[in-house]
Structure 1
Amino acid sequence: MQRALLLSASFLVARILAQILPVPVIVSTTSGQLVGVEVDGVASFKGVRFAQPPVGLLRWEPPTPFTSNLLFGATTLPPACVQQFAFANQAFDENLFNNPPPPEDEDCLFLNVWAPAPLTGPLKPVVIWIFGGSFNFGTGSLPIYDGTSFAKNQDIVVVTFNYRTNVFGFPESPDIPVQQNNLGLLDQELVFTWVQQNIAQFGGDKDQVTLMGQSAGSGAVALAILRHGTDAPFRAGIMLSGVPLSSSTALNFSSFNAFALAVGCTEAPGSAARLQCLRAVPAATIRSYTNGPSGGSFGLIVDNVTAFDSALQRIQNNQLAPVPILLGSMQDDGTVFSYGLTDLQAFLDSSLGAASLLLSAPVVRLLYPGLNDSEVIAAVVRDVGFRCPTKLWADTYVQSGLPNVFRYTYGAVFPDTQVFPGAGAWHSSEVRILFGTYNTSSATPAEATLSASLQAAFANFVKDPTVSPAQNWSQYDPGLLGITLAPTLAAIAYNGNVDPGNFVQPEQQSSINGPCAVWDLALN
């Protein structure tokens, strides 16, 4: 009897230890033999190199695949790529979007995988996460993007990764070919290829891949849809607060040229000599400049390979991967970008240029009755930057005969998410809820419930993007003048609704789109 009790106790201790102690797991990939760990039913592989270090002669070159047969430890999140935060808002932006700040390195092209254990049996759906940050900052190494909860609770494989940002990833440079300027997007494409080649080793199905991104990452998902066709390396896209519409084809090299002069490379613009000089400048020197008061602005250019001048035209012309999409925006997407702004006319002048003569402060106030000027500025940023472009994408997708569109607006506000007064459901505040990485020590029970509800809905879309992802969530129908017989806009977590059966409330899209009738004219 005593022996039986001891054996039973030993078995119980072994089970408990298996849940809390890491167990090595080895997977064979094109990047080598990866030694990850399994903890509590989730195997994780962190810091997997997918490209050669983009340093020295490979700085400002398209990513070169990394291949190896060697054994590599894969238990530590990799460094972020070199970051750029606008000088005027550095402390504010870093506190919101880079906290805690991970180490940075120009050698940064790594990815991470979380997969339900064991890595055998029927292959599972896969989601590839693309971080946001205005293509200037961001990293897959932030703790809020940890894929453990998603993989464990939803039985899917999660991939996060780094891509080059700011002058390293989107230099807008005359010194390299136009088609190589959107290097960050080329990094993303290499990750998509890596997943196709390797994800089965982690129990993932390469034919059931969904791209998911937020803000600039959402825009990156949209651009991937626009540059692929029916042979796309993914079958669906999820876009949280960010889609491209139209972009100028004019090339502006002023920021890059000023940067070159500032770091001592005075050779002729566009010359091999200047590029050679710039490749020898230490990354730390470059970061110091780009984060300084004259750091410059770097971003996407229209190259007609990775990015295009008219997204809506490509949708209408069926020049895209015709995949199901789930997309939406936040009730208060604009608050983090308008914090501290009070002069409405000055804001309109700086944002709209000549159009502010027609859309002057008195006119714009009429679009947002009952709001003070600070609130109007936040609403304009939300609508022009996020809500109305999302509407145009969803409307055009459906009107072009593309099925399986699911649109939402997110309104959850919790006491511990109010990072400043009046933040509301601010830009990216849903990410922690979605990944299950919210602060458990300060979260309310409602926050935990919404996390489970939201995560399940998005995972349902990943598992089958052709059916309703949640109760009350129908395929989107723009209707006639925004009115349909059945409301098909999913209002998520408004009025305290967080339970699986009610966190989605169907609404007429016209309930939130009023000012878009004006802004759409400018956006088109």
Structure 2
Amino acid sequence: MKLLTAASRLALPILAVAKDDNYPTHVPAAALESGPIVGVSVELLDSISPVNRFLGIPYASRPERFSRAKKPKPWTKPLEATEFGPSCTQLFTNNELSPGVEILQGFFDNGPPESEDCLYMNAFAPTSPQPPEGRPVVLFIHGGVFGFPNSPDIPVENTNLGLYDQQLAIEWVQANARAFGGDPGKVTIWGESAGSMSVDVHLNAYRNVHPPPFRGAIMFSGQVSVGLLGATANSQEQRSWDAVAQAVGCNSTDDQLSCMRQVSASDLIDAMSATQVTFTPVTDNVTVPRGRAQRWREGKIAKVPVLTGTIAQEGRALVNRHINMSLFLDSYLTEPLVTKEQRGAILDVYRADPALETNFDVAAAIYTDYFWQCPQGILANMSASIDNPAWRFYFNASLISLFPKELAWLGKFHGSDVSLLFSTPTFEGDAGGVPLTPQLYTFGNYLRGVVGRFVKNPRGGPGWPAVGSRYAPFDVANLGDVGSEVTVAGPTMVDQRVLDARCGLYEAIYPVLEKYVLS
């Protein structure tokens, strides 16, 4: 078994969300590289025809903790793929900076039971006859990646286990896409949050593979080439590992790694919570190369069309609602990386905004711009500058009407886009889905069309002008609210200079972070 790994959930060849009640019409089967599987055919709300659904497919053998995953052992008897596999074991950090367990676990964590044995994927495919040329494929990498043990007993090139898991999943798609009617030459990788950061990593990691194992990339809220989201662990710094080892009683053993392998997953999670330790990727120059921003500038990435964007108020679900402002500033705008003058100028701008009334409002807005919107915009512009097509969006719709009133303060929060995309579209809650307002229903269908259009033809784009096109600077699509109009189902092109006006506050900071933090 392996703690600290990431599962990749796949939708092949198109994304589909099934309602709770299944209505089997036939038993679909697929012949995979590792053996035969059988799934189920289900009716979907608003769908024209049933969809074949294959769940809990192992793309790796049962993993051993802290070791590289291997391909699944072949089988001969048809494997029943009708139930979701377990989610990977997760850590929910509770401190003065984080939003708190009640949000992280109670709001974001609603998946199946957790386990270290979690390297499974789920495939959805139309029941209609396969076209001779094969269908486009989209591979979705979820957020919450957890897979990077920085132990002195593990070679540096083997520390980024979660990324190796994802690479194994990408290889699996190439080997098995045709079994579901897909074309392995028409794969788009799509990630959200930490999954989006992974997509950026793969664009760097597959730079010398021609052609790469994907022809398009979708990045929802996340990248690792600009700003603090790209911070990685130092392979020579093992204090975090030692702290956890000590907490579970493995610090004085002759074979610390073996000892850590014997500790229960729940005890390791408790130890990490108690010591306030999290493990992040290591820049190993294998899975995660150095100088990622410069590689983008020089075009040393896998050149495929990119669809990328962020949400209007990312930080409201990621910052502690009762944040201490001094702690926030000392943690994220710390000297000497950020001068007192720069910090003061940043605070003055945000405090002058009448819409930001509390310290939480100010901190969440800074976090949104500094961590998410501005770096994502920079990445989109760098992609365009090397003639790599990029389309950028600004998700500006509120889903608060779908949640309890006590969560209204979340606003247009991190994850809103996928929450809408993965909901079952319906007007009535008793139909097996989330009851959407007519506006959100229409907007959700439009957003699905945006993803579908890009997956079918990445070079054709999602349906609005590309970054750096002749329409620049009106080359960012506002998706959602436009003035008093709520959740407009279509793109409204906005001036990038106006949208990113506050990003100028960080222009001098990002190069310093690139030199001293991301190097």
TM-score, L = length of structure 1: 0.82
> Which SS does the other structure have where 1:494 is aligned?
strand
Match of 1:59 among 50, 61, 65: 65
1:26 aligns with 2:37: no
- Residues 438, 82 of structure 1: CA spacing in aligned structure 2 closer, same or farther, 3 A cutoff? farther
1:260 aligns with 2:275: no
Q: Is the 8 A contact 1:348 1:361 kept in 2?
A: no
**Aligned counterpart, 1:87:** 94
**Aligned counterpart, 1:139:** none
Give the aligned residue type for 1:39. Answer: V
Q: Distance in 2 between matches of 1:46 and 1:255?
A: 36
Q: Is the 8 A contact 1:129 1:213 kept in 2?
A: yes
Match of 2:477 among 490, 494, 497: 490
**Aligned counterpart, 1:78:** 85
1:111 aligns with 2:92: no
Match of 2:462 among 464, 469, 475: 469
After the TM superposition, which of the residue ranges 22-31 and 209-218 deviates more from structure 2?
22-31
- Residues 331, 173 of structure 1: CA spacing in aligned structure 2 closer, same or farther, 3 A cutoff? same
Aligned length: 457
Tell me the CA shift for residue 368 of structure 1: 5.4
**Structure 1, unaligned stretches of length 5 or more?**
1-17, 136-164
**Aligned counterpart, 1:517:** 504
**Aligned counterpart, 1:210:** 188
Tell me the CA shift for residue 60 of structure 1: 1.1
Matches within 5 A, 1:12-411: 20-40=23-43, 41-54=50-63, 58-70=64-76, 71-88=78-95, 89-99=100-110, 101-118=111-128, 120-122=130-132, 123-133=134-144, 135=145, 165=146, 169-229=147-207, 230-245=210-225, 246-247=230-231, 250-251=234-235, 252-267=237-252, 273-290=255-272, 292-354=273-335, 355=338, 357-361=340-344, 363-367=346-350, 369-370=352-353, 371-372=356-357, 373-402=359-388, 404-411=389-396
> Which SS does the other structure have where 1:77 is aligned?
coil
Q: Distance in 2 between matches of 1:296 and 1:380?
A: 24
Q: Is the 8 A contact 1:49 1:111 kept in 2?
A: yes
Q: Deviations over 1:2-54 (max 9, x none)?
A: xxxxxxxxxxxxxxxx9823521111102321110112310011010111111
**Structure 2, unaligned stretches of length 5 or more?**
1-20, 44-49, 430-434, 512-519
1:453 aligns with 2:446: yes
Give the aligned residue type for 2:480. Answer: A
Tell me the CA shift for residue 318 of structure 1: 2.1
Give the aligned residue type for 2:440. Answer: E
Tell me the CA shift for residue 421 of structure 1: 3.0
Q: Is the 8 A contact 1:349 1:356 kept in 2?
A: no
Q: Is the 8 A contact 2:350 2:366 kept in 1?
A: no
Q: Distance in 2 between matches of 1:287 and 1:344?
A: 29
> Which SS does the other structure have where 2:460 is aligned?
coil
- Residues 247, 92 of structure 1: CA spacing in aligned structure 2 closer, same or farther, 3 A cutoff? closer
Tell me the CA shift for residue 346 of structure 1: 3.2
Q: Distance in 2 between matches of 1:509 and 1:411?
A: 15
- Residues 437, 523 of structure 1: CA spacing in aligned structure 2 closer, same or farther, 3 A cutoff? farther
Tell me the CA shift for residue 344 of structure 1: 3.0
Q: Distance in 1 between matches of 2:313 and 2:88?
A: 29
Q: Distance in 1 between matches of 2:103 and 2:40?
A: 36
Q: Distance in 2 between matches of 1:439 and 1:413?
A: 17
> Which SS does the other structure have where 1:390 is aligned?
helix
- Residues 368, 321 of structure 1: CA spacing in aligned structure 2 closer, same or farther, 3 A cutoff? farther
The root-mean-square deviation of aligned C-alpha atoms, in Å, is: 2.2
Q: Deviations over 1:65-90 (max 9, x none)?
A: 01313221100000111111113322
Q: Distance in 1 between matches of 2:234 and 2:461?
A: 41
Q: Deviations over 1:220-260 (max 9, x none)?
A: 01110111133210001000011112545733211111111
Matches within 5 A, 1:494-509: 494-495=481-482, 496=485, 498=487, 500=489, 503-509=490-496
Q: Distance in 2 between matches of 1:478 and 1:423?
A: 34
Give the aligned residue type for 1:68. Answer: P
Q: Is the 8 A contact 2:333 2:343 kept in 1?
A: no
Q: Distance in 2 between matches of 1:523 and 1:242?
A: 16
Tell me the CA shift for residue 307 of structure 1: 1.1
Give the aligned residue type for 1:50. Answer: Y
Q: Is the 8 A contact 1:48 1:110 kept in 2?
A: yes
- Residues 443, 181 of structure 1: CA spacing in aligned structure 2 closer, same or farther, 3 A cutoff? same
Tell me the CA shift for residue 361 of structure 1: 4.8
Give the aligned residue type for 2:140. Answer: W
- Residues 415, 267 of structure 1: CA spacing in aligned structure 2 closer, same or farther, 3 A cutoff? closer
Tell me the CA shift for residue 341 of structure 1: 3.4
Q: Is the 8 A contact 1:30 1:69 kept in 2?
A: no
Give the aligned residue type for 2:370. Answer: V
Tell me the CA shift for residue 497 of structure 1: 5.3
Give the aligned residue type for 1:250. Answer: N
After the TM superposition, which of the residue ranges 438-447 and 273-282 deviates more from structure 2?
438-447
Tell me the CA shift for residue 486 of structure 1: 5.5
Q: Distance in 1 between matches of 2:387 and 2:472?
A: 19
- Residues 174, 489 of structure 1: CA spacing in aligned structure 2 closer, same or farther, 3 A cutoff? same
Tell me the CA shift for residue 400 of structure 1: 2.2
Name the larger-Rg structure.
1
Tell me the CA shift for residue 358 of structure 1: 2.8
**Aligned counterpart, 1:161:** none
**Aligned counterpart, 1:162:** none
